[in-house]
Amino acid sequence: MTIATAPDAPTAAPHAAARPSRGEPLVRFVGVQKTYDGVQLVVRQLDLDIQRGEFLTLLGPSGSGKTTTLMMLAGFESPTAGEILLAGKPITRTPPHKRNFGMVFQNYALFPHLSVAQNVAYPLTVRKVPKAEAERRVTRALDMVRLKGMDARLPSQLSGGQQQRVALARALVFEPQLVLMDEPLGALDKQLREHMQIELKELHRQLGVTFVFVTHDQGEALTMSDRVAVFNNGVIQQIDAADRMYEAPANRFVAGFIGDSTMLHGTVRATQVEGDSERCGIVLTDGRVLTGLNVNGAAVGAQVEACIRPERIVVHTQAVAERGNVLQAQVSNVIYFGDHLRLLCSVGEGQSPATARLPLSVAGVPNVGDAVWLELPPELTRVYA
């Protein structure tokens, strides 16, 4: 019996599908490098275009270079080499207060002795905006973040989510052309964080302002972004539309960092070009054979990993010998996730457990110790060198 069916192979979005504009980019990093000690490059040869009006997320583990990139764009750090352009003009040596960028930090950086309205008005005070105009803008900014009527409160009288909104209103009040956010949701609890993700994305849609957002949370990046740039060791591993980043990771690091994957080790035994793609057969450590997309062009004899998302695996409770790309396995754990079930399956010596995702509505969920047959559709199995 088949108890989970993988959906049809996704239609890959064009590389630029989610980019709002294809004219001159608002921001351009050209050959940017950054080192703090003169030896180790934190950011290596960064070439990055940020389009007008897009929501771009810089995603990666700690130390990957994403926050340093944001700080160089904000002007709080200076590149060791290379140039940063804004609307075609160099800003590499322009001080932060002259860049006209809004900034939201993880700790909000609110003045505790100032009211909500005074905190939001601070950028306008610095810019010597007339009082009447400043009051109009503050009222509008607080309305945008749904804090109307709270203008007289102090930050200590607000919840964490409300403080985050004040920080966002302050970043938007002077109508910047770019808003930079450094993990602004990191201090919030899970439910509030997810709610704020939706609110931020809707606010971005309404305003059309360019957002650059830094996070290490993959779900946050996929939920909010037009495009995601995945950093590792100071290099962008892939930059793409959020859905394509998940469905078509460019390399093994991205496949392992974005979402959950089952990874199986093997050796390439044959390759074959089919249409616009190349497939390869790999031999697993126990001699079983799988077929998948040869993403990086691995040669015969190369050590590789076959990667597939848990929801793409079809679980059978009876043998299906007539089908290809089927592995017999044994259920080692069944985990309840609230909105779905996860099967952890032992697939053989030398391999990490395979993970399959099942809907709660499925009938006949196998028990720990049961034998199952895992079908890995070749068109959804990606092989990385």
Burial letters for 251-261: b for 16+ Cβ neighbours within 10 Å, e otherwise?
bbbbbebbbeb
Q: Are 185 and 134 spatial neighbours (Cβ–Cβ below 8 Å)?
A: no
Higher pLDDT, 18 or 337: 337
- The predicted pLDDT at position 93 comes to 93
Average pLDDT of span 309-322: 87
How would residue 145 be classed by pLDDT, with cut points 50, 70 and 90?
A: confident
How would residue 319 be classed by pLDDT, with cut points 50, 70 and 90?
A: confident
Higher pLDDT, 8 or 138: 138
339-356, pLDDT tens digit by residue? 889 999 999 888 889 999
218-237, pLDDT tens digit by residue? 989 999 999 999 999 999 99
Rounded Cα distance, 258 and 373, in Å: 26
Least Cα distance to 242 among 6, 59, 7 occurs for 59
Rounded Cα distance, 41 and 97, in Å: 27
Whole-prediction pTM:
0.86
- The predicted pLDDT at position 5 comes to 52
Q: Which residues contact 133 (CB under 8 A, 6 or more apart)?
A: 124
Rounded Cα distance, 280 and 272, in Å: 6
pLDDT above 70 (res 11): no
Dig out the tokens for 275 from the structure: 């249409």
CA 62, 65, 71, 74 torsion: positive or negative? negative
Q: Which fold has domain 262-384?
A: OB fold (Dihydrolipoamide Acetyltransferase, E2P) (2.40.50)
Rounded Cα distance, 216 and 201, in Å: 17
Q: Which residues contact 198 (CB under 8 A, 6 or more apart)?
A: 223
Radius of gyration of the chain (CA): 24
Residue labelled with tokens 């069916």: 5
Average pLDDT of span 320-342: 87
Ramachandran sector of residue 153 (left: φ over 0; alpha: ψ -120 to 50; beta: rest): beta
Least Cα distance to 316 among 343, 352, 348, 281 occurs for 343
Residue labelled with tokens 């053989």: 348
Distances (CA, A) of 167 to 104, 110, 363: 6, 7, 48
Mean pLDDT in the chain?
89
Dig out the tokens for 41 from the structure: 């490059």
The domain ranges of the chain are 27-252, 262-384
Rounded Cα distance, 192 and 220, in Å: 12
Least confident range from 152-156, 171-175, 191-195, 366-370: namely 191-195
Sheet holding 41-50, edge to edge: 41-50, 27-35, 81-86, 89-90
Helix (H) or strand (E) holding 75: none
Please give the single-letter amino acid code of residue 36.
Y
Rounded Cα distance, 317 and 335, in Å: 18
Q: In this structure, what are the phi and psi dihedrals at residue 128, rounded to the nearest 5 degrees?
A: 55, 40
Higher pLDDT, 365 or 12: 365
264-281, pLDDT tens digit by residue? 999 999 988 877 789 999
Average pLDDT of span 71-98: 94
Average pLDDT of span 308-334: 89
41-81, pLDDT tens digit by residue? 999 999 999 999 999 999 999 999 999 999 999 999 999 99
User: How many CB atoms are closer than 10 A to CB 141?
Assistant: 24
- The predicted pLDDT at position 4 comes to 56
Overall CATH class of domain 27-252: alpha beta
